[in-house]
Amino acid sequence: MNINRLFIANRGEIALRIIRTCRQLGIETVLGVSAADQDSVPARMADHTVLLGPAPASQSYLDVERVVAAAKLSAADALHPGYGFLSENAALAEACALQGIIFVGPTPPQLMAIGDKLRAREAALAAGLPLITGAAVATAAAALALATELGLPVLLKAVAGGGGRGMKVVRTLEEVPALFELASAEAQASFGSARLYLERYVEHGRHIEVQVLGDGMEVIHLGTRDCSIQRRYQKLVEEAPAPNLPDSLRSAIETAGVTFARHLAYRGAGTIEFLLDCARGDFYFLEMNARIQVEHPVTEQITGIDLVAQQIRIAEGRPLGLQQHEVRFSGHSIECRLNAEDPMQEFRPSPGRITLAQFAAGAAVRVDSHIETGAVVPPYYDSLLGKLIVHGVDRATALASLQQALALCRIEGVSTNLALLQRIAAEAAFGEGGITTSFLPALLARGE
């Protein structure tokens, strides 16, 4: 079935990103907006808008009933959930199916299997993927016993979610009870489930992920990304392909990603995340994200493949339009997330009015952003202002373009992490490539 009218159940830069691809495909767009986003750039760019509800996400973007009712009212053929909010919510996918609306994403059973860390771990084990030693822990006493058995440090994390919420590193046995309660409370507040998982903590690791596309029958990969620069488990800088990986290791990680997606008979765009233990040289399955990723542009830049267009094609029931041997990789791409937050104040969000928004331009630079001079950054949502993406014939060229593009960027009116991004891009260790997740915490601790 061809999709002629698409309902976008999201906001910000990803909403605008989806609108742009739909325009190229000749698909009419309907954007669901909260009261805070009625005058946003995406709202002006969409063909139609529908008010979902008040500004708080719980009463608009996170309300399954409101979202599906708005899509039905707008006579949309399909619904694209973007990332975040309800993007991996099986209830939304099921509600769409009941209303005869195509969900641009995986099937409800796949969402349920992937969204729960324990189920995902079981599926990875069945697919033969390597896993970090760990188990679910129902009580602080159970966590203490397992931490003692595995040896410190260990990591507590929410079973039902991700993004750093409900995640705590445990370095002493004495702090297990307090951190268990804190992680449980965060998990309950963020995901509606207090269940926790405990595993061995890899001190010096790299986050390597594989982009896959599946049509329910066949799966291909579009290479690797490195997402090791994180603050509080939130990605800040991403690049493709992952630098400084031996060809044999890269191939093994890519094969593992495809194997897992094939095991699920996966349908849609997805990302399988792995943790590379730099001390041991081993890699482990972490999780799968059953949606478009924030960092998808770096993959698009090195492959020339529009991932949103591929999502729509698959949702229409068509087979993949290309085979693995037809995927061509060209050059290197790096992305920086520009956030309205103050790194000097524990990354406190900085809502307000943008008095100046100025980005670099050029053939090597891509900017995915929904902000402009005069735009208002609401206090209700994620602090992401946009993404600065560069592409070069090799990593050194891309890095030089990134440094120049960051120097030309100016955002005024709210606090941003721009200076921190400039500092990261100038660091010798980052220039060499292959840094670990300990890079940014160490950089921040230096306080220069």
- Residue 191 sits in a domain whose CATH number is 3.30.1490.20
Q: Note whether 280 and 167 are same-domain residues.
A: no
Q: What pLDDT is recorded for position 383? A: 95
Nearest Cα to 84, choosing from 226, 211, 235, 219?
Answer: 235
Q: What pLDDT is recorded for position 165? A: 79
Q: Note whether 100 and 164 are same-domain residues.
A: no
Q: Give the number of domains in the chain.
A: 3
Strand ranges inside 317-377, DSSP E: 332-339, 341-342, 348-349, 352-353, 356-358, 365-369, 376-377
- Residue 85's domain comprises 5-104
Q: Note whether 149 and 258 are same-domain residues.
A: no
Q: What pLDDT is recorded for position 185? A: 94
Q: Note whether 217 and 191 are same-domain residues.
A: no
Q: What pLDDT is recorded for position 164? A: 75
Q: Note whether 195 and 210 are same-domain residues.
A: no
Q: What pLDDT is recorded for position 191? A: 78
Partners of 210 in the β-ladder: 224, 272
CATH number at residue 294: 3.30.470.20
Nearest Cα to 297, choosing from 243, 210, 368, 216?
Answer: 368
Q: Note whether 440 and 345 are same-domain residues.
A: yes
Asked if residue 110 belongs to a domain, the reply is no
423 catalytic residue (yes or no)? no
State the DSSP H helix or E strand holding residue 207, giving kind and residue range, or none if neither. strand 205-215
| Helix intervals (H) in 264-352 | 296-303, 307-315
**Last-in-domain residue among 84, 104, 124:** 104
**15 Cα distance to chain centroid:** 14
Asked if residue 84 belongs to a domain, the reply is yes
**Last-in-domain residue among 200, 220, 241:** 200
Q: What pLDDT is recorded for position 116? A: 84
Per-residue pLDDT of the chain (448 residues; tens, 9 = 90+): 899 999 999 999 999 999 999 999 999 999 999 999 999 999 999 999 999 999 999 999 999 999 999 999 999 999 999 999 999 999 999 999 999 999 999 999 999 999 888 899 999 999 999 999 999 999 999 999 999 999 999 999 998 876 677 899 999 999 999 999 999 999 888 777 899 999 999 988 999 999 999 999 999 999 999 999 998 888 999 999 999 999 999 999 999 999 999 999 999 999 999 999 999 999 999 999 999 999 999 999 999 999 999 999 999 999 998 999 999 999 999 999 999 999 989 999 999 999 999 999 999 999 999 999 999 999 999 999 999 999 999 999 999 999 999 999 999 999 999 999 999 999 999 999 999 999 999 999 987 6
Q: Note whether 297 and 192 are same-domain residues.
A: no
344 CB neighbour count, 10 Å cutoff: 11
Q: What angle do CA 344, 370, 212 make, to 5 degrees?
A: 90
**Last-in-domain residue among 104, 122, 155:** 104
Q: What pLDDT is recorded for position 188? A: 87
Asked if residue 115 belongs to a domain, the reply is no
CATH number at residue 64: 3.40.50.20
Q: What pLDDT is recorded for position 97? A: 97
Burial (CB < 10 A; 0-12, 13-18, 19+), residue 69, is middle
* Amino acid (1-letter code) at residue 100: G
The two counts, helices (H) then strands (E), for the chain are 15, 23
Asked if residue 125 belongs to a domain, the reply is no
Q: Are 399 and 425 in contact (CB under 8 A)?
A: yes
* Amino acid (1-letter code) at residue 420: L
Q: Which residue has the tokens 């094939």?
A: 262
Which backbone phi and psi does 391 adopt, to 5 degrees?
-140, 140
Asked if residue 119 belongs to a domain, the reply is no
Q: What pLDDT is recorded for position 190? A: 78
Q: Note whether 167 and 219 are same-domain residues.
A: no
Q: Note whether 228 and 307 are same-domain residues.
A: yes
Asked if residue 69 belongs to a domain, the reply is yes
Between CA 338 and CA 418 the distance in angstroms is: 6
Between CA 217 and CA 319 the distance in angstroms is: 8
Exactly one of 200, 291, 313, 395 is catalytic; name it.
Answer: 291
Q: Note whether 79 and 217 are same-domain residues.
A: no
Q: What pLDDT is recorded for position 203? A: 87
Asked if residue 371 belongs to a domain, the reply is yes
Q: Note whether 211 and 195 are same-domain residues.
A: no
Asked if residue 195 belongs to a domain, the reply is yes
Q: What pLDDT is recorded for position 163? A: 66
Q: Note whether 195 and 214 are same-domain residues.
A: no
Between CA 44 and CA 39 the distance in angstroms is: 7
